[in-house]
C-alpha cells in the first residue's frame, strides 16, 4: 500500500492506493470509504496539508484493520492442508493483532474492542476465531456464572426462535 494515499494534489483510491489479499473481499468498501473521506476533505486551491494528513490517517487505519483481520484468518487457521500449516507457521503477527489476540485469551471480543469507524466489529472476530477453535481451551472468569439448566433452556428458546424465522423465509 502507499505510505500516503494523498500527496499534494494527487489522491490514490482503490488499487492505485494498495491491495490486500481478497480473502475478505474488502476492496469495494475501501474504495467507497476513500471516496467519502475525499468528499469530506475536498480541498480548495490551497490543498491544506491538514486535510491530506487526516485523509491519510483514515486510509492507513483502514488498511491496518483489514490487514489484521486477514492475518488473523491465516494465523488462527485450523486446516490441515500444507498451505494452511505453512501459513500458520510463517505468518508474522502485527503488534496490533498480537495485543488483541492476547487480550482475547482472557476476555471475549466485545464492542469496546472494535468501536469507532470500523469495517469489522467484534462479531466478525468472534465468528472467525470461534470457528477456528481459538477459544477451545480457554476458560473465562464468568464462565460458571450461568447455571447449566438455565443455559440449556435459553439455548432451546434460541433454536426454536431461529427455526420459526427460517421457516418464514421464502425458498430459493
Cα gap 18→3, rounded to integer Å:
9
For residue 54, name the pLDDT band (cuts at 50, 70, 90).
very high
For residue 145, name the pLDDT band (cuts at 50, 70, 90).
confident
Contacts made by residues 55-62, CB under 8 angstroms, sequence distance 24+? 55/5, 55/6, 55/11, 56/4, 56/5, 56/6, 58/33, 58/117, 59/5, 59/6, 59/17, 59/34, 62/30, 62/33, 62/119
What is the reported pTM?
A: 0.78
What was the pLDDT predicted at 115?
A: 76
- Average pLDDT for 22-39: 89
In Å, how far are 15, 57, 141 from 93, measured between CA atoms?
24, 21, 27
What was the pLDDT predicted at 141?
A: 74
Amino acid at each position: 500500500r502507499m505510505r500516503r494515499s494523498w500527496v499534494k494534489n494527487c489522491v490514490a483510491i482503490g488499487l492505485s492506493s494498495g491491495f490486500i489479499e481478497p480473502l475478505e473481499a474488502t476492496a469495494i468498501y475501501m474504495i467507497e470509504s476513500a471516496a467519502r473521506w475525499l468528499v469530506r476533505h475536498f480541498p480548495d486551491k490551497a490543498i491544506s496539508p491538514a486535510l491530506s494528513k487526516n485523509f491519510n490517517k483514515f486510509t492507513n487505519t483502514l488498511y491496518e484493520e483489514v490487514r489484521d483481520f486477514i492475518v488473523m484468518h491465516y494465523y488462527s487457521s485450523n486446516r490441515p492442508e500444507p498451505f494452511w500449516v505453512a501459513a500458520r507457521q510463517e505468518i508474522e503477527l502485527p503488534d496490533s493483532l498480537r495485543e488483541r489476540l492476547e487480550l482475547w485469551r482472557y476476555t471475549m471480543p466485545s464492542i469496546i474492542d472494535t468501536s469507532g469507524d470500523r469495517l469489522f466489529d467484534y462479531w466478525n472476530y468472534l465468528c472467525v476465531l470461534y470457528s477456528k477453535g481459538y477459544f477451545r481451551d480457554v476458560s473465562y472468569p464468568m464462565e460458571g456464572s450461568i447455571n447449566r439448566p438455565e443455559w440449556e433452556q435459553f439455548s432451546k428458546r434460541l433454536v426454536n426462535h431461529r427455526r420459526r424465522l427460517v421457516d418464514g423465509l421464502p425458498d430459493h
